Amino acid sequence: MPHWADLTMPAWAEWRQKAPTVLLPVGSVEEHGPHLPLGTDAFHALELARRVAERRPVLVAPPLYYGLCRSTSEHPGTLSLSSLTLRAVILDLGREFHRQGLRRLLILSGHAGGTHMAMLTDAGEALLGEFPELRVAVVNILDLLREVLAARPELVATPGDAHAGEVETALMLACRPELVQGRAPAERPAFPRYLLVRDKRRFWPGGVWGDPGRATPEQGEALLEAETQRLCEVIDSLEKMPGL
């Protein structure tokens, strides 16, 4: 895989000529129940990047492990950037990619929080405004997964599975099985509608949204393969898109 940080200066310069697109994996350091690693979101994005780079000539930038976490902020181990910091980091990285001669950027987020994604999208929009020749895509892995499941609903049995449940447990069993510590009980958060709360663990003690007990490594592999195929299609669209 042409991972930016692994390349020497001459090798990077050579790859820049081959690879029209830079892929920036973004994750989070966030609780994923008592059974999955805190880096689950980043590991997921990195695994997809690795697989895509085997099929498309893309440069994989060093990942951003930190994201913006709201509903899980009170759980042990979670670290969060502020919204403006996250936006500023993405802006700075986008400007640096452009300065190095890259004109197509795909931001791949393994973390799907609403405010987190809003900052990634806002930064991408700002980059479009600064650099007329730049093309940008912002991909939320949860949206990618929804597209996959619309075509193959049989891949997941738990309705509404969202966080550290069947899907993410299966994904980690497929790509980082040594980090999975058994299975947590099924759970769903019970936050009051519209109200903001300080003690978030009171309404979501275990940090699971779904049923991890249904997950299998084979299921995770099937999900990763389907996501990889769909992401390759997104990259093809980005590279063919005229400057807009």
| DSSP codes of every residue in 141-152 | HHHHHHHHHHH-
Report pLDDT for 1.
60
**Given a cut of 80, is residue 2 above it in pLDDT?**
no
Q: Where are the domains of the chain?
A: 4-160+232-240
Rounded Cα distance, 203 and 90, in Å: 32
Looking at residues 38-59, what average pLDDT do you find? 96
Rounded Cα distance, 235 and 58, in Å: 9
**Given a cut of 80, is residue 202 above it in pLDDT?**
yes
**Given a cut of 60, is residue 239 above it in pLDDT?**
yes
Looking at residues 221-225, what average pLDDT do you find? 97
**Given a cut of 70, is residue 143 above it in pLDDT?**
yes
Rounded Cα distance, 181 and 67, in Å: 24
Q: What is the pLDDT of residues 55-77, one digit of tens each?
A: 999 999 999 999 999 999 999 99
User: For a pLDDT cut of 70, what percent of the chain falls above it?
Assistant: 99
The answer to whether residues 22 and 105 touch, using CB atoms and an 8 Å cutoff, is yes
What distance, in Å, lies between the first and last C-alpha atoms of the chain?
Answer: 30
Rounded Cα distance, 97 and 161, in Å: 35
**Given a cut of 70, is residue 145 above it in pLDDT?**
yes
| Ramachandran quadrant class, 194 (left: phi over 0; alpha: psi -120 to 50; beta: rest) | left
The answer to whether residues 45 and 222 touch, using CB atoms and an 8 Å cutoff, is no
**Given a cut of 70, is residue 243 above it in pLDDT?**
no
Between 3-7, 80-84, 199-203, 240-244, the lowest mean confidence (pLDDT) is in 240-244
What superfamily does domain 4-160+232-240 belong to in CATH?
Creatininase (3.40.50.10310)
Mapped onto helix, strand or coil, the DSSP state of residue 179 is helix
Report pLDDT for 114.
95
Q: What is the mean pLDDT of the chain?
A: 95
Report the candidate in 226, 174, 165 with the shortest Cα–Cα distance to residue 43: 174
Looking at residues 107-124, what average pLDDT do you find? 97
Looking at residues 148-157, what average pLDDT do you find? 92
Looking at residues 149-156, what average pLDDT do you find? 92
Q: How many CA atoms lie within 13 A of 231 on its CB side?
A: 36
Report pLDDT for 216.
97
Looking at residues 164-190, what average pLDDT do you find? 97
**Given a cut of 90, is residue 244 above it in pLDDT?**
no
Report pLDDT for 165.
96
- Would the pTM of this model clear 0.85, i.e. be above it? yes
